[in-house]
Every structure is written in structure tokens, then in C-alpha cells.
Amino acid sequence: MGGGVAGAIKRRGGAEIEAEAVRRGPLAVGDAVATGAGRLPARYVIHAVTMGQDLRTNEQTVRAATHSALRVAETLRLRSLAFPALGTGVGGFPLDRAAAAMLEETAAHLRAGSALEEVLFALYGEPAYAAFAAALEALR
């Protein structure tokens, strides 16, 4: 949890989040696991693995990680969940493709029935917002 969103979570929430995640690993690429949230104003952090040792990701991995995180949220009976744009930082995956994959997986999950009442996409910068807005419009 050194850089990107994971690094920000660790800096703000505390090293105990990473320590708990390490105890729950290793995870395969595309899997997800929940830990406590440390000092963050949340109950859990769901860690969705989008890349392996090569630090690269692809659409299948982004879809699998999104799906896995949504399943973990259901297991915890969460009513809300926040996602960053998975795989688009260090993983280098294009924002528009990540947005389409994540929104399609989320929409399918919600259509199938879910305890989730709100799924928030916490995005960094106008390009990310524009990519997710366009992908959402394409789903409608």
C-alpha cells in the first residue's frame, strides 16, 4: 500500500489497514478482501487486487476485481460502497475502459438484487469524472 489510492488509504487510515490486509493474503489478481478501516470514517476497506508483480492490469482484471469487491460488500451486508477508478493509476489502464467495465459490472450486480443502496465512484480529476459520466450515459 505504498502509492496511489492504496497509499492514500494507508497514510490517512493507518498502517494497521495494511497489516490486516497482509495477514489476509495473498490474494489472486481479481480477488478482494475486507479489512478494518483504521482511522478512516468507514467500517471497512475492501481491497480489490487489480495487478500482479508486473504492475499491469487489463479489462478482465478490472471486471473481476469490481465483481469481487461487490461480493464482499454483500457478504458484509453493506448499504454503501465507494470505488476509485480501479487499475488506472499505477496499473496504467485507460480511464474510459475502466469506467465502462466497472459501471457494467456494478449495474449487473445491482440489477440482480443487492443490499447496496449507494455505490459511489470517488474519482480524481476532470478526466476521470468525464470518463465515468460518458460510460454511465452509454449504459442508459
Higher pLDDT, 44 or 7: 44
Q: pTM, whole model, 2 decimals?
A: 0.94
> What does the alpha-carbon distance between residue 68 and residue 17 come to, in Å, rounded to a whole number?
19
Higher pLDDT, 51 or 68: 68
108-117 pLDDT, tens digit per residue, is 999 999 999 9
State how far the alpha carbon of 109 is from the alpha carbons of 20, 41, 44, 63, 103, in Å: 27, 25, 20, 12, 10
Query: The domain that contains 121 carries what CATH number?
Result: 3.40.220.10
Mean pLDDT (whole number) for 127-131: 97
Contact of 96 with 136, CB cutoff 8 Å: no
pLDDT of residue 56: 87
79-124 pLDDT, tens digit per residue, is 999 999 999 998 899 999 999 999 999 999 999 999 999 999 999 9
Contact of 81 with 46, CB cutoff 8 Å: yes
Structural domains in the chain (count): 1
Q: Which residues contact 46 (CB under 8 A, 6 or more apart)?
A: 32, 33, 34, 69, 72, 73, 81
Task: Print the domain residue range for 11.
Answer: 4-139
Q: What share of the chain is helix, strand, coil (3-state, %, to 5)?
A: 50, 15, 40
Mean pLDDT of the chain: 94
Q: Which residues contact 15 (CB under 8 A, 6 or more apart)?
A: none
pLDDT of residue 96: 97
The 8-class DSSP code of residue 79 comes to: S
For residue 2, pLDDT beyond 70: no
Mean pLDDT (whole number) for 6-30: 92
For residue 17, give the nearest of 4, 8, 26, 28 by alpha carbon.
8
> What does the alpha-carbon distance between residue 59 and residue 48 come to, in Å, rounded to a whole number?
14
Mean pLDDT (whole number) for 8-15: 92
